């Protein structure tokens, strides 16, 4: 698997203006405006009121990047957005790729039809969460939520950090932007889609660990090799077959090193490593 990171220097502007300004991704529109000295510190005195317009406006971000022919030769080429806050429309080279409405999840889109070797452009428009929430509240009124001096109304209609709409301990800063990593992902055969760990503390003197592995695959015969390490030493290991792209490994760690509160002992950590292998045991992806 090959990853082409798109983080770094971008540009942004309000949709109703023509002038572009430097931006940093990951980030948000408030931090970019602050870095460009376009708004005062929103946490100082009552500046929260002076920057309220930011959340009521629509914004667009853009970035130019280079893609090689070798990268596009991968069987699959995805645009992976690990965090878009929130109501976003994405374009690659002027063509719409997709839309999002959830700031908490990862979004992936097929990038191959829109990319070409050489320079490429990505643009992401963020529509106002404040305006969207207010419109939704008019459609279906919810009594008693989001009123008073602490909150903007209607935030519960969005999968977005609710404190952005205000709280008794924080200002109303309904921000937007590319708040987590964004990248192109190219891979052949398969890649790891998800790894999920669950601990079982029911038995004294040991801990059970369940490791569920899921892969996105174009062929069968995949396996996953899972190891758990502590202080650089292997504690347990297991290789499992991924039937229909998924499988679960069960481990038991005897006399596990316990995590103690600060001042009462050590805080040991165990490291879990997952390696995805094809039918000939060639590595495809790691977690």
How is the chain split into domains, by residue range? 2-185, 190-286
- Tokens representing 73 are 């030769």
Measured distance between the N- and C-terminal CA atoms of the chain, rounded to whole angstroms: 12
In words, the CATH class of domain 190-286 is mainly beta
Beta carbons of 55 and 163 less than 8 angstroms apart:
no
**CATH (one of 3.40.190.80, 3.10.105.10, 2.60.120.260, 2.40.10.120) for 2-185:** 2.60.120.260
Comparing CA positions, the residue from 177, 178, 176, 155 lying closest to residue 165 is 155
Place 73 in a pLDDT band, splitting at 50, 70 and 90: very high
Hey, CA dihedral for 178, 181, 187, 189, is it positive or negative? negative
Residue 47 has which token pair? Answer: 């500046």
* Residue 12 and residue 21 in contact, taking contact as beta carbons nearer than 8 Å: yes
Question: Residue written as tokens 């870095």?
Answer: 35
Decide: helix, strand or coil at residue 53: helix
Can you give the pLDDT at residue 153? 85
Lowest mean pLDDT among 45-49, 218-222, 258-262: 218-222
Bridge partners (DSSP) of residue 243 are 246
* pLDDT more than 90, % of the chain: 90
Mean pLDDT of all residues belonging to the chain: 95
Can you say how many angstroms the Cα of residue 248 is from the centroid of all Cα atoms in its chain?
24
- 192 pLDDT more than 60: yes
Structure-token pair, residue 149 = 């001096």
């Amino acid at each position: 698997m090959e990853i082409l990171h798109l983080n770094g220097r971008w540009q942004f502007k309000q949709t109703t203006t023509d002038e572009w300004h430097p931006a940093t991704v990951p980030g948000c529109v408030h931090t970019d405006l602050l870095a460009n000295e376009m708004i005062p510190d929103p946490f100082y005195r009552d500046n929260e009121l002076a920057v309220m317009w930011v959340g009521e406006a629509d914004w667009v971000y853009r970035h130019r990047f280079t893609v090689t022919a070798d990268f596009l030769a991968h069987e699959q080429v995805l645009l992976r957005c690990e965090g878009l806050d929130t109501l976003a429309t994405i374009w690659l080279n002027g063509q719409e790729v997709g839309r999002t409405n959830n700031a908490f999840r990862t979004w992936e889109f097929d990038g191959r039809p829109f990319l070409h070797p050489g320079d490429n452009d990505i643009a992401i428009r963020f529509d106002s969460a404040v305006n969207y929430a207010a419109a939704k509240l008019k459609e279906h009124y919810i009594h008693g939520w989001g009123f008073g001096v602490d909150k903007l109304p209607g935030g519960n209609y969005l999968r977005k950090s609710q404190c952005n709409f205000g709280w008794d301990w924080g200002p109303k800063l309904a921000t937007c932007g590319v708040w987590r990593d964004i990248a192109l992902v190219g891979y052949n055969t398969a890649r790891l889609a998800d790894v999920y760990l669950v601990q079982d503390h029911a038995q004294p003197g040991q801990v059970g660990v369940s490791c569920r592995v899921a892969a996105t695959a174009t062929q069968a015969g995949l396996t996953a090799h899972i190891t758990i390490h502590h202080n650089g030493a292997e504690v347990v290991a297991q290789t499992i077959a991924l039937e229909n792209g998924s499988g679960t490994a069960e481990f038991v760690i005897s006399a596990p090193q316990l995590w103690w509160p600060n001042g009462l002992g050590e805080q040991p950590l165990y490291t879990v490593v997952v390696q995805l292998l094809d039918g000939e045991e060639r590595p495809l992806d790691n977690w």
